[in-house]
Amino acid sequence: MAGVPGHFAHGLNFYKLFWVFFLCCFLGVVIETIFCWIASGRLSQRTGLVWGPFNLIYGIGAVLLTVCLHPFIGKSDRWIFIGGSIIGGAFEYFCSWLQETVLGTVSWDYTGYPFNLNGRINLLYCLFWGALALVWVKEVFPRLNGFIERRVSKTYGVVISWVLIAFMLANSLVSGAAVLRQSQRYEGVPATHAWQQVLDDRFPDSRLAKIYPSMVRVEE
């Protein structure tokens, strides 16, 4: 995972990890969209943010696999597979728990799958995480690493990175606020503040249903 000396994103520094995060937020949506299209025969929205084809889960998952599995690069593939299964399963469980706890919604439910844990994860998908970790460490990351170091401008890389960081932060905050405000509307909380009214106008339930078609509310 060594990089080109002198490049602003050399090695596993902050900028390299951000670009891994940013690109995988996008690539994950593209891959999942194609997969679901092949599986179901129809195109569906797979994004996780209100602006653009991005999903934070893919970006954060890629960074976790990169950082946590870096010490296993020279070890047997089975350790990468086992590590990826554990890391991926724990990450998926946490994301499901956090979404339900904070927003009162869920975007997946594995209750009907064998060997599931509270419907948040299951053994089969944990094994998928392990296989994904192998492919990521052995094939995808080395190529993505080379792409970042060859294609991102050495001169303007830092500036471009911070512009994109600001965009992703704003995108994440607005997305979270829009879904939180939807939960408030569901509970009958009126728009008493300006930000609530803006969110009601810009992100009504009909628009959020198109952005998050898989998200359902958890009934108490």
Its pTM surpasses 0.75:
yes
Q: Considering the domain boundaries, does residue 2 fall inside one?
A: no
Q: Considering the domain boundaries, does residue 48 fall inside one?
A: yes
Q: Considering the domain boundaries, does residue 8 fall inside one?
A: no
How many Å apart are CA 184 and CA 190, to the nearest integer? 8
Q: What is the torsional sign of CA 86, 88, 90, 93?
A: negative
How many Å apart are CA 113 and CA 38, to the nearest integer? 22
Q: Considering the domain boundaries, does residue 114 fall inside one?
A: yes
Q: Which domain holds residue 138?
A: 14-217
Binning pLDDT at 50, 70 and 90, where does residue 175 land?
very high
Given a cut of 80, whether residue 36 has pLDDT beyond it is: no
Token pair, residue 73, equals 């690069």
Q: Considering the domain boundaries, does residue 206 fall inside one?
A: yes
Number of domain units in the chain = 1
Q: Considering the domain boundaries, does residue 6 fall inside one?
A: no
Token pair, residue 12, equals 């596993």
Q: Considering the domain boundaries, does residue 7 fall inside one?
A: no
Q: Considering the domain boundaries, does residue 1 fall inside one?
A: no
Q: Helix crossing, 77-103 with 157-186: angle to 10°? A: 50
- Each residue's pLDDT tens digit, 75-106: 789 999 999 999 999 999 999 999 899 888 88
How many Å apart are CA 96 and CA 150, to the nearest integer? 36
HSE of 107, CA atoms in CB hemisphere, 13 A: 20
How many Å apart are CA 64 and CA 117, to the nearest integer? 21
- Each residue's pLDDT tens digit, 189-217: 999 999 999 999 999 999 999 898 888 88
Environment class of residue 89 by beta-carbon count within 10 Å: exposed (0-12), middle (13-18) or buried (19+)?
buried
